[in-house]
Amino acid sequence: MADFAHHAVVTPRSDDIFVCAQEEPVNVKAELKQLLALAGPMCLTFLIESTQSTISVALVGSIESEQTKELVNGAALSTSFTTLTVIAVVIGLPTALDTLCSQAYGSGNMAKMGTSLQSALLAMTMAFVPIFVINWFSDHILMGLGQDPVVCVLSKRFTLYITATYPFYAFQQIVRKLLQAHNIVYPMFFLAVVSNAIHIGAGIPLTRVFGYDGAGLARVLCQAVYPILLAVYLWFRPVYKQWHIQWSLQTAWTNLREFFQFGLPGLLMMMLEFTAFEILTLLSGLLPDNLVALGANSILMNIIILFYNTYLGMAIASGVRVGIMVGAGQIAHAKCILKLAFGTFLCCIVLTALLFYFLRTKLPPLFVSDVDISKRAEEIIPYIVPLHMMDALNGLSQAVLRALGRPAFATYVNAGAYYLVGIPLAAAFAFGLHWSSEGLWSGFTSASLCACCIYAFYFTKRLNWIQVVDEAKVRNE
């Protein structure tokens, strides 16, 4: 499937840049079919997995107690806090494998996948120490930020349960990346379905028996099932044997620098995005109609995240295919996949943007029963339609840049777009021009549009495919 490297004749030029002297003919129809076959299950997987936090808060909300409001707020605050301290790390750091594994698979250097696995496991183990310390003192940190002390104590309890999911979550993210490089995606989809079923099925009785802690235990169980079922899958389909794993701490340590070279930009990119949206929430709380604004913005964020996660699966699938072709030295194929991916995205985002607009009166009531909040969200939805479109395209650009070994560039673009353009304009529009929530979202749309233009310029004018392929070849020698 990715053995183009074995058919390509690679010759050194006088300037030591390696180019592919012979490429396989590009079959556009076959490439599109492969891309969609990979993207479909991944889209569904990300969509299903994005509901875990919502399920946790819903389980807590079902508790009959005089403290129900405080419990729900504690779980919600914990979810926001651990998005930065756990989720960003677990999703961000392993993005190094989007570069390393897809290119290694394309080049035919399967042993590289084994060394990358070991480095990833060591890096994620090292990252757990500061995460545990930060989360252990999360109540003090949140109180220092002015949050209600009672809610902070409850938040810490739930945060520690989410912290306990870290080893399971990290392991499944690492193995997922390696399987994706093999174009194996259906097992993760079925595991996501089973995980959510356990989350709900075990969560209801656990919450009835143990209350608040039961919801936390259910969160741990739904993640613990991943490595168990992955082990069963690998037992029956031992793909890992192709990775030529020779367990060695020295090997893991030697390749750690390369892992962090590609993983840290991914981590920073996640944290920058998550923090930017948390700042948006804080700004909405400063508006004159803050209670309604907070509720409406919460609904809009849920809608955006729901649709974004669907596109995220397609974006990562595109990155995997591009990375494989780069590793194989098949520049024409990589360019073809890039064009197909952007073409597919453009068609899809037009459809979902129309859905956003024409269903604007139907979507908010799915999240809240309050008429005022629902009506306010309905009024703002037209302002998030362009943001949704730009975000989807930016997600694709970031995934492709990781596949090309350029994650740092995406991080710089994100930092500049959100913190030099988006947040200042959001504040200026909302408070200076008194555009309220519409101003906040218009500011963020400006940031996303700015990033989209930079990525478009880079891909069309600045990207040096020969250099990218040469770097991948050196990396996998």
Rounded to an integer, the average pLDDT of 117-129 is 97
- 160-207 per-position pLDDT tens digit: 999 999 999 999 999 999 999 999 999 999 999 999 999 999 999 999
Do 183 and 1 meet the contact criterion of CB atoms below 8 Å apart? yes
Residue 22 falls in which region: left (phi positive, over 0), alpha (psi -120 to 50) or beta: beta
The whole-number pLDDT of residue 2 equals: 39
The whole-number pLDDT of residue 310 equals: 86
Quick one: which of 364, 385, 366, 393 has its CA closest to 438? 385
Residue 73 has pLDDT above 90, yes or no: no
C-alpha distances in Å from residue 316, one per residue of 19, 110, 168, 356, 437? 26, 20, 21, 23, 31
The whole-number pLDDT of residue 20 equals: 46
Last residue of some domain: 254, 281, 308? 254
Lowest mean per-residue pLDDT among 171-180, 329-338, 355-364, 387-396: 355-364
* Same domain as 351, residue 249: no
Q: What residues contact residue 84 under an 8 Å CB cut-off, 6+ apart?
A: 271, 274, 275, 278
* Same domain as 87, residue 43: no
C-alpha distances in Å from residue 74, one per residue of 60, 61, 138, 274, 472? 9, 11, 12, 19, 46
State the residue for tokens 């309890």. 157
- C-alpha–C-alpha distance, residues 431 and 409, integer Å: 32
- C-alpha–C-alpha distance, residues 459 and 24, integer Å: 23
DSSP class per residue in 381-442: HHHHHHHHHHHHHHHHHHHHHHHTT-HHHHHHHHHHIIIIIIHHHHHIIIIIS--HHHHHHH
Residue 96 has pLDDT above 60, yes or no: yes
Residue 393 has pLDDT above 90, yes or no: yes
DSSP class per residue in 348-364: HHHHHHHHHHHTTTTSG
Residue 132 has pLDDT above 90, yes or no: yes
* Same domain as 274, residue 384: yes
φ/ψ of residue 18, rounded to 5? -95, 135
Q: Is residue 190 part of a domain?
A: yes
φ/ψ of residue 246, rounded to 5? -125, 95
Quick one: which of 108, 104, 113, 101 has its CA closest to 245? 113
- C-alpha–C-alpha distance, residues 33 and 321, integer Å: 12
Model confidence band, residue 433 (pLDDT cutoffs 50, 70, 90)? very high
Model confidence band, residue 10 (pLDDT cutoffs 50, 70, 90)? very low
User: pTM above the 0.85 mark?
Assistant: yes
* Same domain as 305, residue 220: no
The whole-number pLDDT of residue 21 equals: 41
The whole-number pLDDT of residue 22 equals: 63
Q: Is residue 260 part of a domain?
A: no
Q: What's the one-letter identity of residue 86?
A: V
Q: Which pair of structure tokens corresponds to residue 436?
A: 């309220």
- 309-351 per-position pLDDT tens digit: 889 999 999 999 999 999 999 999 999 999 999 999 999 999 9
- 14-54 per-position pLDDT tens digit: 333 344 446 778 899 999 999 999 999 999 999 999 888 88
Model confidence band, residue 5 (pLDDT cutoffs 50, 70, 90)? very low
Residue 378 has pLDDT above 60, yes or no: yes
* Same domain as 28, residue 98: no
Last residue of some domain: 206, 229, 254? 254
- C-alpha–C-alpha distance, residues 148 and 450, integer Å: 37
Do 372 and 312 meet the contact criterion of CB atoms below 8 Å apart? no
Rounded to an integer, the average pLDDT of 404-422 is 96
- C-alpha–C-alpha distance, residues 94 and 412, integer Å: 19
* Same domain as 303, residue 199: no
* Same domain as 56, residue 42: no
Q: Is residue 262 part of a domain?
A: no
Model confidence band, residue 306 (pLDDT cutoffs 50, 70, 90)? confident
Rounded to an integer, the average pLDDT of 68-74 is 87
The whole-number pLDDT of residue 25 equals: 85
- 227-240 per-position pLDDT tens digit: 999 999 999 999 99
* Same domain as 186, residue 294: no
Q: What's the one-letter identity of residue 31?
A: E
Do 38 and 325 meet the contact criterion of CB atoms below 8 Å apart? no
The whole-number pLDDT of residue 338 equals: 96
Model confidence band, residue 57 (pLDDT cutoffs 50, 70, 90)? confident
Domain that holds residue 475: 1-47+269-477
Domain count, the chain: 2
Q: Is residue 263 part of a domain?
A: no
The whole-number pLDDT of residue 440 equals: 95
Residue 108 has pLDDT above 60, yes or no: yes
* Same domain as 208, residue 150: yes
Residue 102 has pLDDT above 60, yes or no: yes
Rounded to an integer, the average pLDDT of 114-128 is 97
* Same domain as 437, residue 364: yes
Mean of pLDDT over the chain: 91
Return the percentage of the chain with pLDDT > 70, whole number.
95
- C-alpha–C-alpha distance, residues 342 and 348, integer Å: 10
Rounded to an integer, the average pLDDT of 422-427 is 96
